[in-house]
A and B are shown apart, each in its own frame.
Chain A
Amino acid sequence: MNKLNELQQDILTEAFNLGMGSAAASLSEIVRSEISLSVPNLTFIDKHTAAERLSQNTDSDLSGVSEGFTGPFCGKALLLFPAEQSLELVRLMLQDSVPLESLTAFEEEALNEIGNIILNAGLGSLADMFGSRIETEIPTYTHGSTKEIFEAQNSANSLHDVVLFLQVDFLIKESDINGFVVYLLDVDSMKDLTNLLDVYLSKIS
């Protein structure tokens, strides 16, 4: 019940591809630079392992934005950058010098806003593909090690630790800023998700 078959996985990956394409376009306009995206990587793992997998890409602390979503499936979407790069990004966006070594509250809010735009674009595309409505919560700024960040993502809808972990790496080419978009889907909503995928599959076959 926890696993998706090959076709279902394919559709979900394509759906997120679309979402990320949209999101990258938004981000590209904001930072006035080309964005390169990795192919989405989809797995079923517990949050602990998910955190470890992400921390393989970077061993510094991460800064970013977390946004809960509900709809045909529920979970958390996160946009994360290695901490110093988040400073870079804010400088880029605000075209401002950031003399302090960490983000002030308002720079955090600026990051929040960007994250919000990007994650909403991603989830919006996803919703469009399935003809559904995905509601998102007001995003919150998050910071810490990958473990700390993931642990903080408690979903009110699920008591289980296992999540559908989807990771897309992206790179802002001109400023060499790299980040990750992570979707943590509640396993409780798996049944709803697989139904949705099957419906979609039957529509296109």
Chain B
Amino acid sequence: MPNTTVLVVDDSKVSRMMITAIIKDQRSDWTIIEAGCGDDAIEASKDKAIDLCIIDYNMPGMDGLELATKLKESFPSTPMSLLTANVQESTKEKAEAIGVRFTRKPITDERVTSILDLVS
């Protein structure tokens, strides 16, 4: 059985470090693909099986929801969550409207774990 693969997208290297550290700690056998922006994420996920997406909202170029919408075309049944500092109601509503989870930053073990649990 192929490894569960997570796509982690955040323009902050440190944030990616923190998220991947938690994933490695909680799910040591999972494969992690990192990207620093929307375009890189799409490139990196081409022709791959992605089982979970963790996406920052505020990024240069495409924002997190635009990316999620694009990814949903290739991975319609993959669970996705925003992990973001942008905690406005409107962002939350937009995410829910396209079936994307909304998780607030700061990045903590509990918050990341709750996203990982989306993959049954």
**Which residues of A are in contact with B by a Cβ distance under 8 Å?**
6-7, 10-11, 13-14, 17-18, 20-22, 24-25, 28, 34-35, 37, 39, 128-129, 201, 204-205
Residues of chain B contacted by A205 (CB below 8 angstroms): 17, 21
Instruction: Identify B105's interface contact among A6, A18, A35, CB under 8 A.
Output: A18
A11-B14, A14-B15, A205-B21 as given contacts; A35 in contact with B85, CB under 8 Å: no
A39-B60, A204-B17 as given contacts; A25 in contact with B12, CB under 8 Å: no
- Which of B17, B84, B85, B87 counts the most A-chain CB atoms under 10 A from its CB? B85
Residues of chain A contacted by B14 (CB below 8 angstroms): 7, 10-11, 14, 201, 204
Say yes or no: B87 contacts A25, CB within 8 Å. yes
Q: Which residues of chain B from 4 to 20 have any CB-CB distance to chain A below 8 Å in the complex?
A: 11-15, 17-18
Say yes or no: B11 contacts A39, CB within 8 Å. yes
Instruction: Identify B85's interface contact among A10, A11, A21, A34, CB under 8 A.
Output: A21
A10-B12, A10-B13, A205-B17 as given contacts; A24 in contact with B60, CB under 8 Å: no
B76 in contact (CB, < 8 A): no
Q: How far is the CB of B43 from chain A (nearest CB, A)?
A: 20
Residues of chain A contacted by B59 (CB below 8 angstroms): 39
B88 in contact (CB, < 8 A): yes
Instruction: Identify B12's interface contact among A13, A21, A28, A35, CB under 8 A.
Output: A13
What are 29 residue pairs bridging A and B, where the CB atoms are less than 8 Å apart in the complex? A10-B14, A14-B14, A17-B12, A17-B58, A17-B85, A17-B105, A18-B85, A18-B105, A21-B58, A21-B85, A24-B86, A25-B87, A25-B88, A25-B89, A28-B89, A28-B90, A34-B88, A34-B90, A35-B88, A37-B58, A37-B86, A39-B11, A39-B59, A128-B106, A129-B106, A201-B14, A204-B17, A204-B21, A205-B21
Instruction: Identify A21's interface contact among B13, B21, B84, CB under 8 A.
Output: B84
With both beta carbons as reference points, the residue of chain B lying nearest to A33 in the complex is identified as B90
Residues of chain A contacted by B86 (CB below 8 angstroms): 21, 24, 37
What 6 A-B pairs come out closest when comparing CB atoms? Answer: A21-B85, A34-B90, A10-B14, A18-B85, A14-B12, A17-B85
Q: How far is the CB of B52 from chain A (nearest CB, A)?
A: 21
Residues of chain A contacted by B12 (CB below 8 angstroms): 10, 13-14, 17
With both beta carbons as reference points, the residue of chain A lying nearest to B12 in the complex is identified as A14
With both beta carbons as reference points, the residue of chain B lying nearest to A13 in the complex is identified as B12
Q: How far is the CB of B21 from chain A (nearest CB, A)?
A: 7
